[in-house]
């Protein structure tokens, strides 16, 4: 069933999610709901792609993440589910790149993330999977696993006001926030 993606300042986004002990039909339904909700969000935005979602973003505090199988192809509408994902190893020096979030309206930020991570999780069939993720996929895992811990990308850069940017809806360009825009955004999200 289609769920609305919740956005800041909704306080539930900053709650830690609980692990799933047994993958049941309700877990499978949650995954379907997450996929539908991501695609619905994307369909209402011309310049953005929904690459991933954590269950907390549809107000379910379960440690479940879905990641699009081909995030470079908006026509590919398939996802892979990761149950109880955990990062077991970080590698390399963090670099700052733009990140957006379905739960943070129109804001982007230059967020430092590690270029390579090792992730352990279960798949939808309950089998343990070990993933080595690099580049953008590593960034996605870090972002989504943060969600399961009640952390949003804005929390990672809140002490760096210059790191915040806004997506201009008409042009689709990402531009720095003016001081007034930044003050207004901070009042809403913190």
Annotated catalytic residue 144:
yes
Q: Residue 90: enclosing H or E segment and its boundaries?
A: strand 79-91
Q: What is the DSSP letter of 170?
A: T
Cα 43–84–7 angle (5° rounding)?
Answer: 35
Q: Which residue among the candidates 35, 86, 97, 144 is catalytic per the annotation?
A: 144
Nearest to 83 by CA among 69, 66, 71: 66
- Residues whose CB is less than 8 angstroms from the CB of residue 142 and which lie 6 or more positions away in sequence, other chains included: 87, 113, 114, 117
- Residues whose CB is less than 8 angstroms from the CB of residue 9 and which lie 6 or more positions away in sequence, other chains included: 188, 189
Tokens 């992730």 correspond to what residue? 119
Measured CA to CA in angstroms, residue 79 lies from 20, 25, 91, 115, 165 at distances of 19, 18, 25, 22, 28
Residue positions annotated with a catalytic role = 144
């Amino acid at each position: 069933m289609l769920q609305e993606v919740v956005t800041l300042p909704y306080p539930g986004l900053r709650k830690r999610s609980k692990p799933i002990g047994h993958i049941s039909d309700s877990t499978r339904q949650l995954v379907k709901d997450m996929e539908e909700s991501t695609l619905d969000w994307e369909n209402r935005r011309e310049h953005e792609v929904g690459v991933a979602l954590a269950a907390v973003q549809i107000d379910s505090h379960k440690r479940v993440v879905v990641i699009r199988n081909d995030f470079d192809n908006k026509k590919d509408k398939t996802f892979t589910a990761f149950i109880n994902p955990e990062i077991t190893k970080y590698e390399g020096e963090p670099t700052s790149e733009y990140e957006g979030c379905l739960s943070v309206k129109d804001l982007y930020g230059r967020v430092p993330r590690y270029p390579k991570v090792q992730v352990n999780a279960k798949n939808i069939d309950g089998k343990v999977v070990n993933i080595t993720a690099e580049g953008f996929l590593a960034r996605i895992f870090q972002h989504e696993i943060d969600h399961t811990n009640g952390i949003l990308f804005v929390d990672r850069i809140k002490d760096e006001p210059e790191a915040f940017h806004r997506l201009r809806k008409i042009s689709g360009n990402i531009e720095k926030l003016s001081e007034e825009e930044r003050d207004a955004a901070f009042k809403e999200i913190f």
